[in-house]
Amino acid sequence: MLKILNWRILPGAIALVAVMATPLSPTSGLGVTKAHAQQLVPSSARAGVRSCAERAGLRSEHSREPTKITFVNKSGMYRALMWIDFQGGFKDYGGMNSGETKTINTFRTHPWMITDGPGNCVQIIMPAAEPATVSLK
pLDDT per residue as tens digits for the range 114-130: 999 999 999 999 999 99
Quote the pLDDT of residue 15.
Answer: 43
Q: Is 23's pLDDT higher than 80? A: no
pTM of the entire predicted model: 0.68
Q: Where are the domains of the chain?
A: 2-39, 45-136
Quote the pLDDT of residue 47.
Answer: 84
pLDDT tens digit string along 30-85? 454 445 445 555 555 678 999 999 999 999 999 999 999 999 999 999 999 999 99
Q: Domain 45-136 belongs to what topology? A: Immunoglobulin-like (2.60.40)
Quote the pLDDT of residue 53.
Answer: 95
Amino acid, single-letter form, for residue 70: T
Strands 101-107 and 66-73 come out as antiparallel
Q: Is 8 helix (H, G, I), strand (E, B) or coil?
A: strand
- In the DSSP assignment, the letter for residue 33 is -
CA–CA separation, 121 vs 51, rounded Å? Answer: 9
Cβ–Cβ contacts within 10 Å for residue 17, how many? 11
Quote the pLDDT of residue 43.
Answer: 59
